[in-house]
Amino acid sequence: MAQGPDSGLVEAAANGDGDSFTELCRRYYPAMVAIAHSILGDRHLAEDVAQQAFATAAVKLRQLRQKGQFAGWLAAICRNEARDILRSRKPVCSIEGRPATSESDENAVCEPVRAALNKLSASAREVVFLRFYDGMSYEQISAVLGISEQALNGRLRRAKKKLAEYLRRDGYGEARL
């Protein structure tokens, strides 16, 4: 994502322009939902957390000194909100799947993948969710994570390698799934 347009919107929002702020929310909503989803494992709760993160950002926006780092700052707020929710819940956290489908064996196919995703480190799981959520470019993801696109590629490759390793270790090779 280009630094310029983002910084201009952040500056305007910090000066009280509500439209600029809602445009920033629209731009980063998928990323925030993906981050919260990777932590909480619940899509609906993740959407609530993302909206709460925007509310916190609206109040604290004046405290952000480097306007170009809005995406990373917002992501940090979202992670904290999600972790607070996670701490207040029961310690069970498993990633929920897509809405129920007509195929009866869908869960049997997807459950091992969700279990393997839960075994990944928080940062590896986050990068996988960010990559697979629709509506986000590599540029946006790297802005949110505060890393270069090359570093993002490397992190994603390592996360997927680990995921495949967990699946094979649990006996779920390509043939079985």
Partner 1 sequence: MNEQKDEKWLDELISRSIDTSEPKFDAEQWKQKHPGEFQALVERGARRPQGARFGVLSIVMRSRIAQVAAAAVFMIAVGLFIAHLDHDGQPQGQPEQLAKSPAEMVTSASLRTAYNRGGMEALEEQCDRAARILGQGSPGGGQGSLSMADLFEDLNG
Contacting residues toward partner 1, per CB under 8 A: 13-18, 21-22, 25-26, 29-30, 33-34, 37, 43, 47, 50-52, 54-56, 58-59, 61-62, 95-99, 106, 109-110, 113-114, 117, 128-129, 132-135, 160, 163-164, 167, 174, 177
> Between 70 and 129, whose beta carbon lies closer to partner 1?
129
Q: Smallest distance from the beta carbon of 21 to partner 1, in angstroms? A: 6
Amino acid, res. 142: S
Per-residue HEC secondary structure of 120-165 comes to: CCHHHHHHHHHHHCCCCCHHHHHHHHCCCHHHHHHHHHHHHHHHHH
Alpha-carbon distance of 173 to 151, in angstroms, equals 28
Alpha-carbon distance of 86 to 77, in angstroms, equals 14
Q: Smallest distance from the beta carbon of 117 to partner 1, in angstroms? A: 7
Q: Smallest distance from the beta carbon of 78 to partner 1, in angstroms? A: 13
Q: Smallest distance from the beta carbon of 4 to partner 1, in angstroms? A: 22
Q: Smallest distance from the beta carbon of 115 to partner 1, in angstroms? A: 10
> Between 82 and 117, whose beta carbon lies closer to partner 1?
117
Alpha-carbon distance of 159 to 156, in angstroms, equals 5
> Between 86 and 129, whose beta carbon lies closer to partner 1?
129
Burial class (CB in 10 A: 0-12, 13-18, 19+), 104: exposed
